[in-house]
Structure 1
């Protein structure tokens, strides 16, 4: 690794913060989780923006932030040096093979391995593709444990109404504080400052994190 900054004029290691879909709070949580481990942030890098940093920059590429929704990796941005940990794979249409890996992704992983995976299924898929992989778990599991007072509320995130009602009946919690929310943020009008949009996503992700960690139970469809 390059020498970190030790004084004026010395070389320094640049760290970038990788961000995903502005309206997706799960991407926001993945970014918050990675931010914990960065000593400094030299640049914010968008998974959907082909912009490449002018200097060699290290990023934590966790979750599905290593590629855009079309499966295009960061390989064409050689100044981005990825630490691929807590990686997830996109889901395919075939129920018998729910996780898919493209040839481009396989080559990218092989060149930047070994790959830390957030679940054992991803480890198996990568291993079968000839990519060295290990189980690292999800980076969001590294948020500090909350030991304060809990509210006693039940939070359901992107859970169907009938499933929520069934869970509440089975647990006998119909009369308790029940909150339903989605990980998708409302859209914003075009032309807004990108920094404002990102700060909004981070602020909302922090709010959801604080709400969930203080609740008695959280039920979610997100892995």
Structure 2
């Protein structure tokens, strides 16, 4: 049996961060399979963790029988739910379905399929051995009127995007791995509107605030306990020199350990079958 991982189209490296997170727990990868074309895969039988956001091409479901799926960190976007529901028997054959968020968990259970809240593999990243934090990272969080300020309380201010345009997915995956490592080495504090920035950073022990939307897709932020902050309030604290008053590090060690144990156990069982 071959070992697979998901590839993606699009310009959001949050998807690639999810693939990088899963790869940590797998044997060496033999093949990358595009998330939106799993139904056309006709290669050797391949173990594949189905994690992340499904599905752009809503009719391209279910996956090929050549794929041996592990559903973990699975999220079904609302537009894809009707077609996923029509193929509930496919999910039933591969239960339990580990879901990234409460909304997907409830949806899968409504189909008569065993589902549970697995959370996301991006919560299993470890910080690099060499950590020397010197920066506050605004990751698609717009530092607003303070964008021209270069430092605060001795910390550099860095604005980062998780979006690319027309970059091959191989390059995005490499960048995704590098950017997570960079946060791990250099971020003293992170404020972001991206869940797949917030979760890796918290997992690596970085105090992190989330300023993105509050909806069914981002409820995992609240489940994990990552604080949501009002942007002006955050800016005022930083640039008034009150870094010490920012929210403290959220300890997710127990959650991280549970997720890691769950995912690695499911992979080991699948490899023995």
- Is this a same-fold pair by TM over 0.5? yes
Alpha carbons 2:127, 2:181 under 8 Å: kept: no
Cα deviation, residue 27, structure 1: 1.1
Q: Which 5+ residue runs of structure 1 have no aligned equivalent?
A: 1-12, 93-99, 189-196
- Which is further off, 200-209 or 127-136? 127-136
Cα deviation, residue 39, structure 1: 1.2
Matched, 1:84 2:71: yes
- Corresponding residue for 1:35? 23
- Corresponding residue for 1:144? 126
Cα deviation, residue 17, structure 1: 1.6
TM-score, normalised to structure 2's length?
Answer: 0.60
- Corresponding residue for 1:132? 114
Matched, 1:60 2:49: yes
Give the match's secondary structure for 1:102. Answer: helix
Report runs of 4+ in structure 1 exceeding 3 Å deviation: 48-51, 145-148, 172-176
* Pair 184,115 (structure 1): closer, same or farther in 2 beyond 3 Å: same
Alpha carbons 1:24, 1:185 under 8 Å: kept: yes
* Pair 128,201 (structure 1): closer, same or farther in 2 beyond 3 Å: same
Cα deviation, residue 62, structure 1: 0.5
Matched, 1:207 2:178: yes
Q: Of 115, 118, 137, which residue of structure 2 is paired with 1:155?
A: 137
Matched, 1:198 2:169: yes
* Pair 35,22 (structure 1): closer, same or farther in 2 beyond 3 Å: farther
- Corresponding residue for 1:187? 166
Give the match's secondary structure for 1:122. Answer: helix
Higher strand share: 2
- Corresponding residue for 2:223? none
- C-alpha root-mean-square deviation of aligned residues, in Å? 2.8
Alpha carbons 1:25, 1:184 under 8 Å: kept: yes
C-alpha separation in 1, matches of 2:170 and 2:80: 32
Task: Write out per-residue CA displacement over residues 108-161 of structure 1, whole angstroms, 9 at most, x where no aligned residue.
Answer: 433322111122333233323433111212101112234532323111222244
TM-score, normalised to structure 1's length?
Answer: 0.72
C-alpha separation in 2, matches of 1:165 and 1:109: 48
* Pair 73,51 (structure 1): closer, same or farther in 2 beyond 3 Å: closer
C-alpha separation in 2, matches of 1:138 and 1:78: 25
Alpha carbons 1:22, 1:201 under 8 Å: kept: no
- Corresponding residue for 1:45? 33
* Pair 78,182 (structure 1): closer, same or farther in 2 beyond 3 Å: same
Higher helix share: 2
Matched, 1:216 2:203: no
Task: Write out per-residue CA displacement over residues 162-197 of structure 1, whole angstroms, 9 at most, x where no aligned residue.
Answer: 4x859x9xxx94873111121111325xxxxxxxx2
